[in-house]
Structure 1
Amino acid sequence: MEMNGLMGGLYRISEWIMRIAYINILWLAFTIAGLVFLGIFPATTGVFAVARKWRLGDTQIPIFKTFWKSYRSEFIRSNVLGYLIVIIGFILYLDLRIVQNIDGWLSTLLLILLFSLVFIYFFVVIFLFPVLVHFNSKTFQYLKNAIFVSIAYPIHTLLMLITSFLLIVMNVKFPILLPYFSVSILIVSIMFISYDAFRRLEEKENNY
């Protein structure tokens, strides 16, 4: 029997808290199971896959089965894309350190160029995994899709960046939340916002 009123609302809130805590525990467990460096990106993809199903309205999905299916099927691709992003980020960091040691107008010009690339880099990072679980493309096409969507929908991108910053600050302020909500609530928030951008993009394509 469905509960209504205050009790029904409290029940639904507690149910969502348990779901989000559960996928955070799954993320931690399977990240460690993959020896961290091989598990972190597939586990992240798995949580995004669950969050996407929730955003589509499938709130009663078997969480572990959905997570595991994505973790297993995207194991190689998520690691390839994840570590490609890590390498690009490291190269950008090194370039910034080098440019800081250059004097004159050339340094200013290079810094402007690099900071522009850094912004695009963060756009790709924040959209990459939502794109990975939502679209069906070739491996490196996901990077292009992430860039395209992030630039086409700047409001969504900005909202995702602000939300990510606030949730990271919250986790720093309240470290007791780390084992239960640190990653999952961030991923769910990003997926819910990014899905709206995907929906708008698909509606626009269907109208052509």
Structure 2
Amino acid sequence: MRDLPGLTGALYVFAEWIMRFSTANILWIIVNLPLLFVLLSVYINGFGPGFVVYLLPLVLLIPAVTVPSTVALFATAREWILQKDQSSITKTYFFHMKANYRKNFLAGLALLALWLVWLVDIYFFKQSNDFMALLFTLIGLGLFVYTLNFFSLCVHYRMKTRTLLKNAFFITLGNPLLSLFILVSNMSLFYVSATRLYFLIPLFTVSISAYLSFLAFYRFSLKMQKKAESSI
């Protein structure tokens, strides 16, 4: 049916992509409902003394659920970009979530450690030093791009976790245009979702973020591959 001519074919392709993004997005949200519930509780109650109660669930859920489920989302989006056939988005998603689960869990611990160090630093400097607070805000944006690049590397190449973490750093720092595109596109998407088009959050935001991030990374990797081949 993809070969239907004219407007009918275009509408079919449009509907197919809507279904892809919405299904993958809903699956990610369902898997991460426990984490979202904890984050909502933190938002409602604030970062008071009771925050410690929520810290342990966050420490457990992020590497055990959020990182593997996000890797699965990136792997699913990768197959769309590479035009691989998928008999079922749900089956594809959970297949990728179960594949290399232990490796993704360990990677989640490493990413969690980085984010916790950043969170403690910015919380401390936010109250004492405006310049350092601004600096760590910028570092946080870089860490966000670094995390997305790590997910793209994780689903596209077979490497050890330490190598993935190292290469994600070099790609993020060494390719400012790629990092800027990933940052601006994702921040724009999140801003519009949170302030204007609220329906994007349950249906499209996370899956579109994964798609745009991997697409940018994939085009960069193709460019680097062509450059390497031409230099031989």
Is the TM value for this pair above 0.5?
Answer: yes
Whole-angstrom CA distance in 2 between matches of 1:83 and 1:186: 22
* Residues matched between the structures, number: 203
In structure 1, the residue matched to 2:117 is: 91
What is the CA deviation profile of residues 132-175 of structure 1, one whole-angstrom value per residue up to 9, with x for unaligned ones? 10111111111111111223322111111111011101211222
Structure 2-normalised TM-score?
0.75
Shift of 1:205: 3.4
Shift of 1:102: 6.0
Whole-angstrom CA distance in 2 between matches of 1:155 and 1:98: 31
Distance change >3 Å, CA 99–CA 166, structure 1 → 2 = closer
Which residue, out of 187, 193, 200, partners 2:216? 193
Distance change >3 Å, CA 100–CA 140, structure 1 → 2 = same
Q: Which amino acid aligns with 1:171?
A: S
Whole-angstrom CA distance in 2 between matches of 1:18 and 1:31: 20
The answer on 1:157 being equivalent to 2:158 is no
Q: Report the 3-state secondary structure (helix = DSSP H, G, I; strand = E; otherwise coil) of the residue aligned with 1:183.
A: helix
Q: Kindly report the root-mean-square deviation, in angstroms, between the aligned alpha carbons of the 2 structures.
A: 2.7
Runs of at least 5 residues in structure 2 that lack an aligned partner in the other structure:
36-56
Q: Report the 3-state secondary structure (helix = DSSP H, G, I; strand = E; otherwise coil) of the residue aligned with 1:140.
A: helix
In structure 1, the residue matched to 2:13 is: 12
In structure 1, the residue matched to 2:167 is: 145
Whole-angstrom CA distance in 1 between matches of 2:96 and 2:24: 13
Q: Report the 3-state secondary structure (helix = DSSP H, G, I; strand = E; otherwise coil) of the residue aligned with 2:32.
A: helix
Q: 1:15-26 maps to which residues of 2 (within 5 A)?
A: 15-26=16-27
What is the CA deviation profile of residues 88-140 of structure 1, one whole-angstrom value per residue up to 9, with x for unaligned ones? 1221232234445667xxx96x6787567545423311211011101111111
Whole-angstrom CA distance in 2 between matches of 1:178 and 1:171: 6
Distance change >3 Å, CA 202–CA 152, structure 1 → 2 = farther
Distance change >3 Å, CA 32–CA 75, structure 1 → 2 = farther
Shift of 1:192: 1.0
Contact kept in structure 1, 2:145 and 2:182, CA below 8 Å: no
In structure 2, the residue matched to 1:166 is: 188
Contact kept in structure 2, 1:32 and 1:39, CA below 8 Å: no
Distance change >3 Å, CA 121–CA 70, structure 1 → 2 = same
Distance change >3 Å, CA 114–CA 185, structure 1 → 2 = closer
Whole-angstrom CA distance in 2 between matches of 1:17 and 1:154: 31
Contact kept in structure 1, 2:28 and 2:70, CA below 8 Å: yes
Whole-angstrom CA distance in 1 between matches of 2:26 and 2:148: 21
Whole-angstrom CA distance in 1 between matches of 2:71 and 2:107: 11
Contact kept in structure 1, 2:23 and 2:203, CA below 8 Å: yes
Whole-angstrom CA distance in 1 between matches of 2:101 and 2:210: 18
Q: Report the 3-state secondary structure (helix = DSSP H, G, I; strand = E; otherwise coil) of the residue aligned with 2:4.
A: coil
Shift of 1:39: 1.8
Q: Report the 3-state secondary structure (helix = DSSP H, G, I; strand = E; otherwise coil) of the residue aligned with 1:21.
A: helix
In structure 2, the residue matched to 1:80 is: 106
Structure 1-normalised TM-score?
0.83
Q: Which amino acid aligns with 1:61?
A: Q
Whole-angstrom CA distance in 2 between matches of 1:194 and 1:12: 24
Whole-angstrom CA distance in 2 between matches of 1:100 and 1:21: 37
Q: Which amino acid aligns with 2:199?
A: I
